[in-house]
Structure 1
Amino acid sequence: MPITIADVAARAKVSKTTVSRVLNGKGELDESTAARVRAVIDELGYVPSARAVNLARGRTRVVGMLVPSLTWPWMGEVLQGAVDVLEAEEYGLLLFTCNRGDDSMRQFGAQVAAKSFDGLLVIEPEGTLDYITTLHSRGLPMVLIDDRDQLSGGQIPTIGTTNHSGAADAARHLLAIGRHKPLVITGPARFGCTVQRTDGFSSVYAEAGHPISDAHVMTGDFTVACGADGVKQAIALGLEFDAVFCHNDLSAFGVVQAIQDSGRRVPDDVAVVGFDDIPMAAHHQPPLSTVHQPMREMGEAAARTLLAHFDGTPVPNRQTIIPATFTVRASTQA
């Protein structure tokens, strides 16, 4: 049977409270008593529960992370960035997804009530913002990751990137290679990143004297299928286009396939640009030019911000921006 704190107390002829104080370094103790307890701990080979010790110190040394799903293409990069920082500081990660809807959120709420973690990293699952904001207002330290600052009204600290300027860089690249008639495949209209990417891209074309018509902007859902369907619809409508800007890489993959299926060439006839720079983008055929979102860096920054708060640094109620960058590959420039 495992050695318990009661065993140590009995052998050292002290109370369990005294043993606990020795383990946690709390309270004033006679040095000879403390030495006797430590000697018994060594003799019996007692290993205290890390969770129990941390709870006694007022911390679990665990960070919670709430995400919509692990199937999002860039989710692994965010998680790895956060885990790298947490493990280096000897923190654990308790991960929650919303794959089962309300059941998942009830399970998450039970862990919040049990104080199973010291703070929370969040990639906001759709429809949970009010609940998350309430948790924050009640004192749960948290940091949001992605483009949710505008949705939380600035109440919750956020690590974000430059969706607007990233899309503008994509537009400048396409204009520089002589593409004046782009088709745009957006994300869902309700997402803040969709608005920012649409505005950033369209504003550059308008300033260059090539405004993008509404017919050339098609609402997608970030899937491969929506990219392919957008191209097929544009061809069926007789729209002229020499480039396609997609709001994520998956839809860009669908665009490339549909263009090639139509008998056109990428990039000779149609240049294609994505957004995210997921690992597959560099290995696609042709390799995809795309806006690189610093997802791993965002995960790292969110974890550092939360850990700094545990050490006494207030979490800033503002958005911290890590700039996106543009990566040129063969889908726009042979």
Structure 2
Amino acid sequence: MSITIADVAARAGVSKTTVSRVLNGKGELDLRTAERVRAVIAELGYVPSARAVGLARGRTRVVGMLVPSLTWPWMGEVLQGAVDVVESEGYGLLLFTFNRGAESMHQFASQVSSQSFDGLLVIEPEGTLTYIEQLHARGLPVVLIDDRDHRPQFPSVATTNYAGGQSAARHLIELGRHRPLVITGVERFGCTHERLDGFRDTYAEAGIELDPRLVFEGDFTHESGRRGVQHALDQRLDFDAVFAHNDLSAGGAIQAVRETGRNVPNDVSVVGFDDIPYAQHTEPPLTTVHQPMRQMGQAAARMLMGYFGGTPLPEEPQVLPTTLIVRSSTAPKSTPRTSPPAPAGRSAH
């Protein structure tokens, strides 16, 4: 059986509180009492848990992180960024997913009640906002990652979705692509509106109005990319490019276009968003807007670490830039070939 603080207290003839004060150097103690407690600790081989010491000091040295699911394609990068910072500061990370709905929320709430962590990083699962707001109002430091709705009451780290949409549009316009099919993300997400607005505004500045029939609402899945292309084909809508709001749906669009016998990138150029590892392995490799997901996790974790060190949480969101990564899924639009003039004195066939 493991040795507990109660065992140490009983052997030394003192209270558990006295043992805790010896461990944490709190309060004034009789030197002989302190020496006796330390001798018993050494004799019994008692090793206090980091959590027990942290609670005695009023700090667990653990950061909680609440995410919708670990299956999101870029989730690993965000998590790794947060872990890089948290562990370098001597903290642990307690991860909560929202895979089981109410059951997951109940488990998370029980950990909140037991004060299992000092602060919370959140990629907001649906339906949890009100509860997270309550935690924040009660004093739990909360930092949102990828804030999709611009909620100023929370410190947050985001990326330049609007500028990312602009860069995708500029690239396609420069390639002569004037009839893009847009496969958006989920309509209720702020990032979906920003990416579409940046893309549409840039085309408008070039004197090109997007055909509203070529804006298809997707859901960030591979299948929604396929459905978006099929929708345009079913409606007999001509398009020479696809801008998909994430890489998975861009991959689905590439597959659907190629199945029609058309070439990517010559007949239809395709641009995605995120730059997950998958983007390098589509056929052809995907041109996409890179989101600095690992850096977002790092930045959010640094906010919490700074807060623990006495720096107030920032009132303004920290926004990290996106970057267009050009690969082989985009190319200039070719000029239609015309028949050469027939030699003099002969008719053309």
Q: TM-score range by the shorter chain?
A: over 0.9
Equivalent residues of 2:123, 2:147 under 8 A apart: no
SS at structure 2 position matched to 1:127: coil
Tell me the distance in 2 between the aligned counterparts of 1:18 and 1:234: 74
Equivalent residues of 2:149, 2:189 under 8 A apart: no
Equivalent residues of 1:148, 1:158 under 8 A apart: no
1:48 equivalent to 2:48? Answer yes
TM (norm. structure 2) is 0.91
Tell me the distance in 2 between the aligned counterparts of 1:27 and 1:228: 67
1:156 equivalent to 2:154? Answer yes
Correspondence 1:5-24 to 2 at 5 A? 5-24=5-24
Tell me the distance in 1 between the aligned counterparts of 2:30 and 2:204: 78
2:343 alignment partner in structure 1 = none
Correspondence 1:214-233 to 2 at 5 A? 214-233=212-231
Tell me the distance in 2 between the aligned counterparts of 1:286 and 1:148: 30
Question: What's the CA shift for 1:238?
Answer: 1.9
Question: Which of 1 and 2 has greater Rg?
Answer: 2
Amino acid at match of 1:37: V
SS at structure 2 position matched to 1:326: strand
1:96 alignment partner in structure 2 = 96
Question: Given the superposition, is the C-alpha separation of residues 131 and 178 from structure 1 closer, same or farther in structure 2, using an over 3 Å criterion?
Answer: same
1:311 alignment partner in structure 2 = 309
Equivalent residues of 1:159, 1:298 under 8 A apart: yes
Question: What's the CA shift for 1:104?
Answer: 1.4
Deviations 1:176-213 (A, max 9, x none): 12211111110121110110000000100010011111
Equivalent residues of 1:247, 1:275 under 8 A apart: yes
Question: What's the CA shift for 1:237?
Answer: 1.7
Greater displacement, 264-273 / 100-109: 100-109
TM (norm. structure 1) is 0.95
What residue ranges of structure 1 are gaps of 5+ in the alignment? none
SS at structure 2 position matched to 1:65: strand
Correspondence 1:121-270 to 2 at 5 A? 121-150=121-150, 152=151, 154-270=152-268
Tell me the distance in 2 between the aligned counterparts of 1:131 and 1:242: 45
Question: Given the superposition, is the C-alpha separation of residues 225 and 149 from structure 1 closer, same or farther in structure 2, using an over 3 Å criterion?
Answer: closer
Amino acid at match of 2:79: L
Tell me the distance in 2 between the aligned counterparts of 1:23 and 1:146: 40
TM-align CA RMSD: 1.6
Question: What's the CA shift for 1:170?
Answer: 0.7
Greater displacement, 275-284 / 198-207: 275-284
1:295 alignment partner in structure 2 = 293
Tell me the distance in 2 between the aligned counterparts of 1:135 and 1:7: 36
Equivalent residues of 1:228, 1:257 under 8 A apart: yes
Deviations 1:101-146 (A, max 9, x none): 1221122112111211111111111122122112111111110000
Question: What's the CA shift for 1:11?
Answer: 4.3
Equivalent residues of 1:220, 1:226 under 8 A apart: yes
Greater displacement, 197-206 / 228-237: 228-237
SS at structure 1 position matched to 2:77: helix
Amino acid at match of 2:318: T
Equivalent residues of 1:155, 1:318 under 8 A apart: no
1:274 alignment partner in structure 2 = 272
Tell me the distance in 2 between the aligned counterparts of 1:148 and 1:227: 21
Tell me the distance in 2 between the aligned counterparts of 1:119 and 1:238: 53
SS at structure 2 position matched to 1:329: coil
- Matched residue count: 332
1:286 alignment partner in structure 2 = 284
Question: What's the CA shift for 1:254?
Answer: 0.6
What residue ranges of structure 2 are gaps of 5+ in the alignment? 333-349
Deviations 1:258-280 (A, max 9, x none): 11000100101111000011111
Tell me the distance in 1 between the aligned counterparts of 2:233 and 2:36: 84
Question: What's the CA shift for 1:149?
Answer: 4.8
Tell me the distance in 1 between the aligned counterparts of 2:25 and 2:288: 53
Question: What's the CA shift for 1:161?
Answer: 0.3
